[in-house]
Structure 1
Amino acid sequence: MYQILRKIAFWGVKPKKKYSHLYKKYFLMFRFKELILSPEEKITFKLHLTYSVIEGIILGVLALNEFVFVKSLKGSDFQLSILIQISAVVLVFTIFFNEYLKKVRNKKKLLQIVAIITRLPLILLIFFPHTEAETIANSYYHWAFLVIFLIYFFAQPIIYPTINLFLKNIFSQDNFGKLYSISTSINKIVMMVVTFLYGLLLDYDHYSFIYVFPIIGVLGIVSVYLLSLIKYEDTEYLEVHLNIFESIKKSFKDMRNIIRNNVPYKHFEWAFMYYGFAFLGTVSIITIFYESELHLNYSSVAFYRNSYNIIAILTLPFFGRLLGKIDPRRFGVITFCSILLYLLCLLLTYYFPVHFELLGLKLYLFMLLFVIFHGIFAATMSLLWNIGSSYFCKNEEAANYHAIHLTLTGYRSLLAPFLGIVFYHWLGYVGAFLIGIGLVAVAISIMIWSEKKYKV
């Protein structure tokens, strides 16, 4: 596995003996004391790390959210596609919120207000029914669930660009990827443990989520509050106050100019567009595949998710350093190859459902290979999606570029989850997964071609 990753990452680069010893070090976890950090970097890292730990708890619960909606709440395929959709469609508004964010002097207070507004509604889930009969009899609970999480995800267009802005302005170029990968590794460890425990709890009581989500809501407020403590001062402030229509017009104009003038970044986003349709179009189908085709229980789903997170944790330090040393488009090829291979493993599982049971877990042969490739995908995408766009711009432009990246994610999410369900009902698992593989192949081709022709 190490040799394969090295060859992919360093194709076209002549090997140097004096650097050969560094390759093995990529797989070792970084030791915090070995990094040369300024006092501000140390404080910021500790705050971001604590935020990442709490977010790991939240993400550990949300990791089973779609499966809870299908298995416990008995939501329909169409409603499931909406649940997948709303987690990303809110990102359409990122470019508008980013324009507003530029005018806000007190960004810390804004984060705190957003956290309270978007996290508190999770407490309402405690009033949901605790029986299958009552859940099926009252379909409005499905829609209430969707609305609550629509509100929850509306925080993303503000929180994500702000994180990028805060960190990029304090962390040095050399430390950015390293420190971010450490926080992400810890985040995934916590997420893995919580997902496992939450899966066991759901197997014991399919409706225990009504008690868990209110706790998650409170933790969400705390995590964003800690993030707001990171030191930040505006380097520029827009004195001219524009009305809402002028701001929207300016946002689209800035977005168009950046994409038009920064050709490598344009290609980066084009590749992400094809990948995004593949990912968002298949993620809901995979959830249905778990329930209807593989007949997995909560513990088995948690096992598969945790297993690939273990691989992600082990490889994140390697990929954190790698992202700072190679072109982000070459890094993207590794990411997209991994999703192509894990979709292929799902197809093989469909045709060859060889499996065995161990300690209540249903283990499929090709799903174990799926776990390996999904782990590499989870590690690389957590870096590429969150901070990849910042490698195409100056430090002070990081929030703008990430806002564009998130907005484009929102645009493709308007159709991708719904189209995925349509193709699934029309062509079945095989046709839907093959379409996903084809789209990812196009994304890989764009990345390879762009890096060869245009330099960052």
Structure 2
Amino acid sequence: MSFQLKLNSDERSTFRLHLAYMLIEGFVLGVLALNEFVFLKSIKGSNYQLGLLFQFSMIVFLFLILINEFLKRIKNRRKLLRIAGILSRLPLLVIFFFPNNEQAYQNSTFHIVFLGLFLIYFAGNIFINPNINYLLKSNYTHSNFGKLYSYATSSNKIVMLVVTFIYGFVLDIDNYIFTFIIPIMGIMAIVSVFVLSLIPQPEEGRLANSAGIFSSVSSSIKEMRDILVSNVPYRHFEIGFLMYGFSFMISVTVITIYFYDGLNLNYSSVAFYRNAYNILAIVLLPYFGRLLGNIDPRRFAALTFSTIALYIFFVMITDYLPYHFELYGVTIYYTLILYVVFHGLFASTMVLLWNIGSAYFCRPEQAGTYQSLHLSLTGFRAIFSPLLGVLFYELFGFTVTFAIAIFCLLSAMLLMRWSYKRENKQECLQ
């Protein structure tokens, strides 16, 4: 690896820690890949509660608008990461005390507790995710950033692939094994954050801002606003992401409902559809990591948005072409094979674009602020999108909901292409 990419000593040590973090997170995310289906099938949560579970994973980022200045003031990011990891992941151990019978889950208390535990878990990400970008952008060179990130992410997805398949198989044997597995993943999630915190921080000795915290928060919000006003390519990028995010959020929960209510799939089948695409993503991630480093992020975004539009399309037409076969207890629909293919393309591009795409619009020292802004806007669209998806489904059905999502994605693709061509035209005129 180091020979092929000619890494310096900082990059080598950072990559080892980054890779270890991603491998451990692969176990955690492999289990959480089935979390929403567990909530529906085993815990018997409602459709709107399912929408809230997904909403929580995104809406917490809205608070980055307020805490961005706090993050910039932190001198010891290692300590911050460790505290955030413990406080947000340790509560998952409560799930160990959840009951192992269906009748108990008629009590909505367990639904509320489950949602609350994962709201706390997701809240930890507002401290962890911006620091990932900050630490990696500060230790990786620009030319190797996307490549190294893609290699670590490919490894993460290999672990996810294996874990999700095994977890789905075990859940079909015992629908309540999650009461044992999720607490273990909570401990592993703490360990992963501790590993991440070992990545060197480049600015240990910087001086704290002398302004008051409220004044600084106001300045931080103004800074974010100024970025959107002055950095036109980035503004277009985020508007495109707003349309993409709306489409993704209204469709992802409804696809889970469709797998449960529309197709009546078992855990093994859902594990297949939620995870088989990672095989393709693993193969393609290194290629797309290099591609993102060589083309404008808006062109990359247009490609990414096209892949999700296609995978939603193939889910949508499954209702009209419900041909399938059984293989080792997995129900395989022919149209959903194409869903898996395009989901693989989407997974191998969006994981790069969402996590590090914003860093290509700024200087290294601004990466944390740009990613905080990017994640804050993610939280903004999460205020309404997931529950709107459930509402559209209950009012209009699966087809109309998926069609709305596809239309928004096509609009986002056109915006990205227009923005890139517009900037190139202006540069030529100058």
The bucket for the TM-score relative to the shorter chain is over 0.9
Q: Give the secondary-structure state (helix, strand or coil) at the position aligned to 2:139.
A: coil
Q: Deviations over 1:234-261 (max 9, x none)?
A: 2884533444432331121011001100
Q: Name the structure 1 match of 2:39.
A: 69
Confirm whether residue 297 of structure 1 aligns to residue 266 of structure 2: yes
Task: Indicate which of 333, 337, 343 corresponds to 2:312.
Answer: 343
- Which of 10, 14, 17 pairs up with 1:44? 14
Given candidates 29, 43, 52, the residue that maps to 1:82 is 52
Contact kept in structure 1, 2:138 and 2:202, CA below 8 Å:
no
1:107 aligns with 2:83: no
User: Deviation per CA, 1:208-265, whole angstroms, max 9, x where unpaired?
Assistant: 0000111111111110001111111328845334444323311210110011000000
- Partner letter of residue 179 of structure 1? L
* Counterpart-to-counterpart distance in 1, 2:140 and 2:279: 27
SS of corresponding position for 2:171? helix
Deviations 1:99-150 (A, max 9, x none): 10111111101100110100100000011111001111x1110000000000
Matches within 5 A, 1:211-360: 211-234=180-203, 237=206, 239-360=208-329
- State the secondary structure of the residue aligned to 2:319: helix
Query: 1:96 Cα deviation (Å)?
Result: 2.4
Q: Tell me how far apart the structure 2 counterparts of residues 150 and 203 of structure 1 sit (CA, whole Å).
A: 26
C-alpha contact 2:43 2:102 (8 A) present in aligned 1? yes
SS in 2 for 1:246: helix
CA shift for structure 1 position 154: 0.6
In structure 1, the residue matched to 2:86 is 116
Aligned partners of 2:285 and 2:349 also within 8 Å = yes
Instruction: Give the AA of the match of 1:309.
Output: N
| Secondary structure of 1:169 counterpart | helix
TM-score (norm: length of structure 2): 0.97
Distance in 2 separating the partners of 1:155 and 1:127: 22
Residue 441 of structure 1, aligned match among 398, 410, 413 = 410
Q: Is residue 67–residue 217 contact of structure 2 (8 Å, CA) maintained in 1?
A: no
Unpaired runs of 5+ in structure 1? Answer: 1-30
1:423 and 2:408 matched: no
Cα offset for 1:204? 0.7
**Letter in structure 1 aligned against 2:73:** K
Task: Choose from 375, 379, 385 the match for 1:410.
Answer: 379
Aligned counterpart in structure 1 of residue 4 of structure 2, from 20, 31, 34: 34
1: distance between equivalents of 2:305 and 2:348?
A: 12
Aligned partners of 1:77 and 1:171: how far apart in 2? 43
Counterpart in the other structure of 1:400: 369
- For 1:421 and 1:238, how far apart are their aligned partners in 2? 48
Q: Is the 8 A contact 1:81 1:421 kept in 2?
A: yes
For these two proteins, the number of residue pairs brought into alignment is 425
Q: 1:98·1:158 contact (CA, 8 Å) conserved in 2? A: no
What is the CA–CA distance in structure 2 between the aligned matches of 1:293 and 1:116, rounded to whole Å?
39
Q: Are 1:140 and 2:109 counterparts?
A: yes
Q: What does residue 179 of structure 2 align with?
A: 210
Q: CA RMSD in A?
A: 1.2
Distance (whole Å) between structure 1 residues aligned to residue 68 and residue 337 of structure 2: 41
Describe the superposition over 1:354-393 as per-residue Cα deviations: whole angstroms up to 9, x where unpaired. Answer: 1111111100010000000000000100000000000000
Sequence identity percentage: 51
Q: Is the 8 A contact 2:75 2:205 kept in 1?
A: no
Q: Tell me if structure 2 keeps the 8 A contact 1:98–1:161.
A: no
Q: Determine if contact 1:44/1:231 at 8 Å carries over to the other structure.
A: yes
Q: Equivalents in 1 of 2:204, 2:7: separation in Å?
A: 22
The corresponding residue for 1:175 is 144
In 2: Cα distance, 1:331 partner to 1:344 partner:
20
One-letter amino acid of the counterpart of residue 314, structure 1:
V
1:376-395 equivalent positions in 2, closer than 5 A: 376-395=345-364
2:137 is matched by which residue type in structure 1?
A: K
Query: SS at the partner of 2:331?
Result: strand
Question: 1:347–1:430: 8 Å Cα contact kept in structure 2?
Answer: yes
Q: Are the counterparts in 1 of residues 171 and 267 from structure 2 also a CA contact under 8 Å?
A: yes
SS at match of 1:356: strand
Deviation string 1:340-364 (CA, Å, 9 cap, x unpaired) is 0011101111111111111111000
Q: Does 1:195 align with 2:201?
A: no
One-letter identity of the residue aligned with 1:265 = Y
Whole-angstrom distance in 1 between the partners of 2:112 and 2:330: 32
Given that residues 90 and 410 in structure 1 are in contact (C-alpha distance below 8 angstroms), is that contact kept between their aligned partners in structure 2? yes
2:332 is aligned to 363
Structure 1 residue identity aligned to 2:253: S
Q: How far apart in 2 are the matches of 1:404 and 1:106?
A: 22
The aligned amino acid for 2:99 is: P
Partner SS state of residue 175, structure 2: coil
Q: Secondary structure at the match of 2:396?
A: helix
Whether the 8 Å contact between 2:168 and 2:268 is mirrored in structure 1 is yes
Q: Distance in 1 between matches of 2:205 and 2:79?
A: 18
Q: State whether residues 21 and 195 of structure 2, in contact with CA within 8 Å, keep that contact through their aligned partners in structure 1.
A: yes
1:41-89 superposed Cα distances (whole Å, 9 cap, x missing partner): 1000000000000000000000000000000000001100000100000
One-letter amino acid of the counterpart of residue 259, structure 2: Y
Structure 1 residues 288, 239: closer, same or farther in 2, change over 3 A?
same
Secondary structure in 2 aligned to 1:195? helix
